[in-house]
Amino acid sequence: MQAMLLEKPADLTVERNPLTKAAVPDPVPAEGEILLKVSACGVCHTELDEIEGRTPPPSFPVIPGHQVVGTVVGRGRDAGIFQTGDRVGVGWVYSSCGTCEFCRNGRDNLCPEFKATGRDADGGYAPLMTVPEDSAFKIPAVFSNSEAAPLLCAGAIGYRSLGLTGIRNGQRLGLTGFGASAHLVLKMVRHRYPDTEIFVFARSEREQAFAKELGAVWAGATEDMAPTKLHAIIDTTPVWKPVVEAMKNLESGGRLVINAIRKESIDKQYLLDLDYPTHLWMEKEIKSVANVARTDISEFLDLAARIPIKPEFQEFPLEEANRALLELKERKIRGAKVLRMA
């Protein structure tokens, strides 16, 4: 098959085509695995972290992509959950040990043996992929392939982040950064917590306008003061300034949830602006989000189908994965980006 391969780490400011289209052998499902014919694969900011070496793949080459929608076209020995022809999705969780303290308690996202799709194992920037069948999820019929793909990471991790805020209906929520995940959180909150007002901090006026279009009561720049203090804020940005700026907008006892696998170090000096009384005192908290548990994906898919929550998305052919990644790097964003297979 012809897949998009990451052969080595790359600096995207100079290397504009980090992925190479190349012929690789078709994958064969091992015991307990299924073979998927990929229909769509979402493009995630985490791919940039892999390419630029902040969370590098343990070996090269690797096929990236961890928001995969496909049809089951083959099954390995002892794989019996799905039938040939079923439409399934795969997210960031590729495998975990299944026996550690975390796995036994539904926190497989924290498993020390956690393996990620498209980083530790080949992912969905390809016409075919294999996956352990217990890491695949049936896709509700209400979604098209391209609608479903961004739900598998942007949506599922947004769901996990929202849960970690501990917010209740009527409390005020902030979102700093307004990409694929945040726009799905906004849609989710409007249905789950109808009395919760949402405040969005975004760099570009285009993103601010998009947030208001989707129902945010207020949208401003990263460093702005919101008109009122917020009970929780979710940060989906790759940098540090929004973290510090968000803390000053938190209500006493409020919590900032950082939904990012890695932060870039370009503006790390901003952390020196952290002022204890302004940003941390009054029992404010910071919590990170790590990976995604299988239950996040299955619960979110159910919820998204019931509401329904559908992402805004732009499609690209598989061959144009590099262009999609560059646009993401350059923050040319409106909703999610999805690679669509022919």
Q: Residues 201, 222: contact at Cβ < 8 Å?
A: yes
Distance CA(320)–CA(112), nearest Å, equals: 34
Amino acid at 294: R
Q: Of 289-308, which residues contact Zn ion (CB under 5 A)?
A: none
Cα–Cα nearest to 329, from 12, 6, 81: 12
Task: Answer yes or no whether residue 97 interacts with Zn ion by CB under 5 A.
Answer: yes
Identify which of residues 46 and 208 has a Cβ nearer to Zn ion in the complex: 46
Which amino acid does the sequence have at 266? I
Does residue 96 belong to the site contacting Zn ion (CB under 5 A)?
A: yes
Check residue 214 for interaction with Zn ion (CB under 5 A). no
Please give the Cα distance from 268 to 282 (Å, whole number): 24
182 binds Zn ion (CB under 5 A): no
**Residue closer to Zn ion (CB basis): 132 or 220:** 132
Instruction: By CB under 5 A, tell whether 325 contacts Zn ion.
Output: no
Q: Is 116 in the site for Zn ion (CB under 5 A)?
A: no
Distances (CA, A) of 12 to 16, 103, 133, 231: 6, 36, 34, 36
Nearer to Zn ion, 97 or 305 (CB): 97
**Cα–Cα distance between 122 and 262 in angstroms, integer?**
21
Residues that bind Zn ion (rule: CB under 5 A) add up to a total of: 8
Gap between the Cα atoms of 273 and 279, Å rounded: 9
Shortest Cβ distance from residue 244 to Zn ion (Å)?
Answer: 24
Q: Does 100 bind Zn ion (CB under 5 A)?
A: yes
Shortest distance (Å) from residue 157 CB to Zn ion: 7
Q: How far is the CB of 114 from Zn ion (least distance, A)?
A: 7
CB of 153 vs Zn ion, minimal distance in Å: 3
Residues in the chain: 342
Q: Assess 111 for contact with Zn ion (CB under 5 A).
A: yes
Residues forming beta bridges with residue 36, ordered by sequence position: 72, 129
DSSP 296: H
Burial of 270 (0-12, 13-18, 19+ CB in 10 A): middle
Helices (H), the chain: 45-51, 101-104, 145-148, 154-165, 180-192, 205-213, 241-248, 294-306, 321-329
Distances (CA, A) of 11 to 53, 75, 326: 9, 38, 11
Residue 60, classified by CB atoms within 10 Å of its CB into exposed (0-12), middle (13-18) or buried (19+), is exposed
Is 24 or 100 the residue whose CB approaches Zn ion more closely?
100
Pick from 103, 116, 173, 328: which binds Zn ion (CB under 5 A)?
Answer: 103
Tell me the HSE value of 126 on the side-chain side, using a 13 A CA sphere: 29
Residue whose CB is less far from Zn ion, 224 or 327: 327
Q: Does residue 110 bind Zn ion (CB under 5 A)?
A: no
Q: Give me the 10-49 binding string for Zn ion, x by CB under 5 A, dash otherwise.
A: ----------------------------------x-x---
Closer to Zn ion by Cβ: residue 88 or 156: 156
Chain positions 135 to 174 lying near Zn ion, rule: CB under 5 A, are: 153
Q: How far is the CB of 280 from Zn ion (least distance, A)?
A: 29
CA distance 122 to 57: 10
Query: Least separation, in Å, of the C-beta of 150 and Zn ion?
Result: 9
In this complex, which beta carbon is closest to Zn ion, that of residue 40 or of residue 226?
40
Residue 100 or 286 having the CB closest to Zn ion = 100
The residues facing 90 across adjacent strands are 68, 136
Lookup: tokens for 66 = 């961890």
Shortest approach of Zn ion to residue 323 CB, angstroms?
Answer: 18
For the bound state, the minimum distance from the C-beta of residue 152 to Zn ion, rounded and expressed in Å, comes to 8
Q: Using the minimum distance from each CB to Zn ion, give the nearer residue, 43 or 230.
A: 43
Contacts with Zn ion, residue ranges (CB under 5 A): 44, 46, 96-97, 100, 103, 111, 153
